[in-house]
Chain A
Amino acid sequence: MSLNTPMPDTIDLEIRCPIETRVLSILRNFVTSIAAYVGFNAEETDKIEMAVDEACANVIRHAYKHLGVSPDLPEAEQAEDANAAQCTLRLRLVLGEDFLKIIIIDNGIGMKNRPPGVDSLEEYTERGGTGGLGTYIIKNFMDEVEYDFPEESGTILTMTKYLISTAKSS
């Protein structure tokens, strides 16, 4: 699907967020209300909430680190104005009758160049439990996950959850 192709019988919403971790709780509240509107039960809504939180936290922490925009950087290395660095995080939600598609778009350093995620809990513990769990959560909590890397820059993450779930984990 092209990013700009409208889908019939759907509601298409998009919000643009600052690159700050304090927005994460706002995004979670927004997404959980949308998931409940589509008809997901509490357990599936929790999974959608967590997948979105992990994906957005990944962008906020890693996508613009090379420009001095990341909560992980020491204060002395932080850019003075994140907006001046033209850093964006867009969260697009496509509500269908039996699905919710979530598209997270940034124009930072591509996922390919960020710290790699883990493929299993064993790998996570072997690494000392310090990171990489977020991408594992996204992969296991959503039904379809796809990463696209536009030529110019950034990452487009598309995650879909169906009302009759085909998720891998229970």
Chain B
Amino acid sequence: MKNYDLNIQDPQDGVAFRKVDVIGCLDSHTVVGFEKSLHSLLDEDVTKLLINLEQLTYISSAGISALMGLTHRLRQRDGELVLLKPTDKVHRVFRTLGFTNIFKIVEDDSEVEASFKG
């Protein structure tokens, strides 16, 4: 019945951000583990965070609030959260609710580096 997984990629030389892949769904059940893992990562002084959403099949308000929480925490330390390639379904939710104006979203890996500089 596993419908959620998280892959926190190791730091890479010359790459200023940490990348995390979210797989499955982010709802009121899975968001607890997601928040715990991500806030532990931020405790390691990560300031630039890239969350890859290309395998995220569903997001609820609990998942959106978790992303908002990460955004706030990173901004407090002059950091930034960038969301990469949300699935059509998740992008539609962001767009319909107005979160495309709040989250920084990039659609291509080649845009990631520049999105953090901006």
Q: A residues within 8 Å of B by Cβ?
A: 21-22, 24-25, 28, 43, 46-47, 49-50, 53-54, 57, 60-61, 71, 121, 125, 128-131, 133-134, 136-137, 140-141, 169-170
What are 7 A-to-B residue pairs whose CB atoms are below 8 Å?
A21-B27, A24-B60, A25-B1, A25-B58, A28-B58, A47-B96, A134-B61
Give chain B nearest CB distance to A118 CB in angstroms: 10
Distance A10 CA – B69 CA, assembled complex (angstroms): 43
With both beta carbons as reference points, the residue of chain B lying nearest to A134 in the complex is identified as B61
Residues of A within 8 A of B60 (CB): 24, 50, 53-54, 57, 134
* A43-B92 contact, Cβ under 8 Å, with A24-B29, A57-B27, A121-B98: yes
Give chain A nearest CB distance to B96 CB in angstroms: 5
Mark B36-60 against chain A: 1 for CB-CB distance below 8 A, else 0: 0000000000000000000000101
Contacting pair B96 A169 (CB below 8 A): yes
Between B71, B92, B97, the greatest number of chain A beta carbons within 10 A of the residue's beta carbon is seen for B97
List 19 additional contacts besides A53-B27, A125-B102, A129-B72; criterion CB under 8 Å. A22-B29, A24-B29, A25-B1, A25-B3, A25-B29, A25-B58, A46-B92, A50-B60, A57-B27, A57-B28, A57-B61, A71-B32, A121-B98, A125-B68, A129-B64, A129-B68, A130-B69, A137-B97, A170-B96
With both beta carbons as reference points, the residue of chain A lying nearest to B68 in the complex is identified as A129
Distance A71 CA – B25 CA, assembled complex (angstroms): 18
Interface residue tally of chain B, by bracket? Answer: 20 to 34
Residues of B within 8 A of A57 (CB): 27-28, 60-62
Residues of B within 8 A of A131 (CB): 61, 65
Distance A133 CA – B61 CA, assembled complex (angstroms): 6
Distance A141 CA – B27 CA, assembled complex (angstroms): 17
Residues of A within 8 A of B1 (CB): 22, 25
Residues of A within 8 A of B112 (CB): none
Residues of B within 8 A of A47 (CB): 96
Cβ of B77 within 8 Å of any chain A Cβ, yes or no, is no
Distance A134 CA – B65 CA, assembled complex (angstroms): 10
4 nearest A-B pairs in the assembled complex, by CB-CB distance: A129-B68, A21-B29, A133-B61, A57-B28
Residues of B within 8 A of A133 (CB): 61, 64-65, 97
